[in-house]
Amino acid sequence: MISCQHATELMTTRELRPLTLFEMISLRMHTAICSACSTFEKQIASIKSAIMNEPDSVPGSEFINALERAIKERRL
């Protein structure tokens, strides 16, 4: 079973690229038994939905690039 840290990394990675089958299964198994990660996953979906429904507040490409770099650096 994956750790909560790995689960949250997969949740954020999923926003940048499709997860592999193994990653999807691992994440689903983890969120099925971990209420904290399940809640976090729902929060990410809510935030994404709010951002997508507010075209005036969509972050610019500079912000997106900085966020992607920060996520990649976190994997060290």
**Distance of alpha carbon 40 from alpha carbon 11, whole angstroms:** 9
Helix (H) / strand (E) element for 45: namely: helix 35-52
Residue 73 pLDDT > 90, yes or no? Answer: no
pLDDT tens for each residue of 26-69: 999 999 999 999 999 999 988 888 777 776 666 778 888 888 88
pTM for the whole thing?
0.66
Domain ranges of the chain: 4-74
Mention every residue, 6+ apart, whose C-beta is less than 8 A from residue 29. Answer: 1, 2
Q: What gap in Å lies between CA 15 and CA 1, rounded to an integer?
A: 22
Query: What pLDDT shows up at residue 75?
Result: 60
For residues 59 and 40, what is the distance between their CA atoms, to the nearest angstrom? 21
